[in-house]
Chain A
Amino acid sequence: MALKDVIGAALATINWADTGHSTFKVYHGAVLGKYGVTTFESEINYHNGLGTKDGYKLAALFRTLADLRGLSSSTLDSYTAITLQNTPFLGATHVPDNDTYNNKSYFCTYRYGQCYMYSVAKKLGVATDKWNSNLAWQEIKSVLDIAGHGVLFLNTSDNTYVDLGNRLYDENAQSISVMIELYEADKANNAGALAYARDTLWAYVNNNLWFTDHYGYNPGDSGYECEGPFFAIVAARLRALNGYTLANWDRVITDVKSRFLNNGWDSPQWTYGTTRYYAVVHHHTANSQRRLMNTIGAWTVLHAFYRVLDPTSQAAIQNLLNGPAGPAWQLLINNSGLFDSTANRFRWTSDGTTNDDATAAGCVLLFLLGIVPQDGSLLVPLHEFNYECRGGSTLNRYFLFNYDARTIRIPVKAGTIQFIYGTSPVSYTFPANGVYEITFSSDWNSITSVSKVGDVDPTLTYVDPVRTPTKLTLTVTPL
């Protein structure tokens, strides 16, 4: 069975007529060509109608994901205006009340797309007195200063917070992300938010969570956190917004290599004890549960970082994707425990049940696993909207997998990329950077057409700036 057959069989099990009002299903469905702008409009309208803080929170997230997918309409804007006007805030502060812990209201730094709403409010000119990013980042900073590090839950009306373990991603990376989003909402006036993320929060991570060759679970635990993969995206965004320079950036590269690549499938993020699972495990040394969303995060990171890694690490990625141990997609469906090969459906965690949401996300993962970079690679824009708990992944409008049309759309750094959706690999050499649509033959073993549909937007953030591609050839001649 070829990769395209696995994807086709899994897609056929999903009830696309019912969104389940799920951000996971709608977002991944959009990547898979199943949903467009009207679905996002309907979902924002539905969640506004709930009239609850959870409803407005999810409405905000649907708006965020619509923008990520490049979807826009006047209806989308009018529904979003209702979201902006009705979202509850913490006391008189400018920070949303988006979660509850022990019966008390908090702003959860998981954000649920809400920090992006400061940018949307400014763009639409709606409720900007409440959605004031200039005040919001300073109000959040006041609480983080008391904690001394990133936190998960904070209340800006009474300057309290809840410390649930001071973890790498859940507390520290997410708090950095909050500051990044608020900086992006008003770069001219919020430079302090970027500086705080860089000089205080990032410095804390490097002073307290670095363990020889990787960032650990928390300051007292060197284990590998399952969300660790996506930490690299947060660090890369911080570096990009800081002019593509950041203290200890070399550690981020070292972390990616030791976490995923230096020992192939025996690298710690793929293993528990000596067992290889070919999917991200919950905690390398303490919990063998495998997680689908973190595996999507991992492959998003590896594709995004490929072009800045050394040749040995690039070869390691190629080996994971299509090496002698078997292609990553095959190992995932046969050995990870995340795929039910009888039902052709995915589950979120190895101990969970299969469902539509996970199956849609799994198909997006298989889309990524069919792309093997060579001297060309993906140019993955860096986005981070709490990728795992509510919103799905971070693949923007440049990514599309249309199974029925046998067409994919991807952002490309010029050079050769191999595709392994059929029974035989097929390669194509892209002459220039850009967003391309590639159509395959019926068996996906050959490419029938390639068209450049646009340039990648250089104003988006990437692991490295988008620069002119080069090609090197080497000739050895005896004297």
Chain B
Amino acid sequence: MTATLLSDGTPVSGKTISFKYRVTGTTTWTDAGTGTTDASGNATVTVSLTVPQTYDFRAEFAGDEDYEASYAEVTNYKVKAKTAITLTITPQ
């Protein structure tokens, strides 16, 4: 997941973003790691979710001496199990 940190429309670089997730409907967040914003204000972490269900995701910027804190959420995101289909052609 990727978070983008902007201030008045301008990317803010070099800031630490914390990522979390939880199963939708539960109350406990699980840490998914942190990332640092690049020149475009983007910070990315990758999380492996193998159980197909609905999740909430959150990114948090804690703020610092110069910038206010902010956060963003994506809720009710459905993670689907991967499927594979095989096709067999059998001559009659």
Contacts and interface: CB of A to CB of B under 8 A. Distances in A.
A104 interface: no
Contact of A470 (B1, B57, B58, B70): B70
Contacts of A28: none
**Among the interface residues A307, A375, A471, which one has the most CB atoms of the partner chain B within 10 A?**
A471
A468 B68 contact: yes
| Residue among A467, A470, A472 with max Cβ neighbours from chain B (10 Å) | A472
A467 B5 contact: no
Contacts of A467: 63, 65-68
A342 interface: no
Interface string A441-479: 000000000000000000000001101111111111111
Interface in A428-446: 431-432
A472 B7 contact: no
Interface in B20-71: 46, 57-61, 63, 65-71
A464 B42 CA distance: 26
B61 A472 contact: yes
Given A413-B68, A471-B7, 9 more contacts: A431-B8, A469-B70, A470-B7, A470-B12, A470-B67, A471-B6, A474-B72, A475-B1, A475-B2
Interface in A354-394: 375
Given A468-B66, A469-B7, A476 B71 contact: no
A220 interface: no
Contacts of B69: 307-308, 470
B5 A470 contact: yes
A467 B67 CA distance: 5
A470 B72 contact: no
User: Do most interface residues of chain B lie in helix, strand or loop, or is the interface mixed?
Assistant: strand
Contacts, number: 85
Interface string A160-190: 0000000000000000000000000000000
Nearest to B63: A467
Nearest to A315: B73
Contacts of A432: 8
A311 B56 CA distance: 14
Nearest 7 pairs of A and B residues by beta carbon: A474-B72, A472-B72, A472-B70, A470-B70, A476-B1, A474-B59, A469-B68
B67 A472 contact: no
B72 A473 contact: yes
A375 B60 CA distance: 12
A121 to B, nearest CB: 36
A335 B71 CA distance: 34
B6 A474 contact: no
B58 A311 contact: yes
Nearest to A469: B68
B65 A311 contact: no
B70 A375 contact: yes
19 contacts: A308-B69, A311-B58, A414-B68, A464-B63, A465-B65, A467-B67, A467-B68, A468-B68, A470-B5, A472-B5, A472-B59, A472-B71, A473-B6, A474-B2, A474-B58, A475-B3, A476-B1, A477-B2, A479-B46
